[in-house]
């Protein structure tokens, strides 16, 4: 997951939708929360739905 997020191009708009998941691993949440910080500096709008 980290690898895929690292390869998101600048100015992109990726969305991770886990709203229908029964369980989301805390490590996955941590990775996405960390990417939100990085995304701001890359002018990337990043959305998550849990």
pTM of model > 0.75: yes
Q: Cα Rg for the chain, rounded, in angstroms?
A: 11
Q: What average pLDDT does the structure give for the chain?
A: 95
22-46 confidence digits (pLDDT tens): 999 999 999 999 999 999 999 999 9
In the chain, helix, strand, coil percent, each to 5?
A: 40, 10, 45
Confidence of residue 6 (pLDDT cuts 50, 70, 90): very high
Parse the chain into domains and list their residue ranges: 2-49
All residues at 6 or more sequence positions from 17 whose CB lies less than 8 Å from its CB, including other chains = 48, 49
Residue 50 has a pLDDT of 87
| C-alpha 16, offset from chain centre | 6
List beta partners, residue 17.
49
């Amino acid at each position: 997951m980290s690898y895929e997020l690292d390869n998101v191009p600048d100015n992109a708009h990726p969305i991770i939708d886990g709203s229908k998941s029964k369980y989301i691993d805390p490590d996955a949440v941590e990775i996405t929360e960390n990417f939100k910080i990085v995304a701001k500096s890359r002018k990337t709008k990043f959305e998550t739905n849990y």
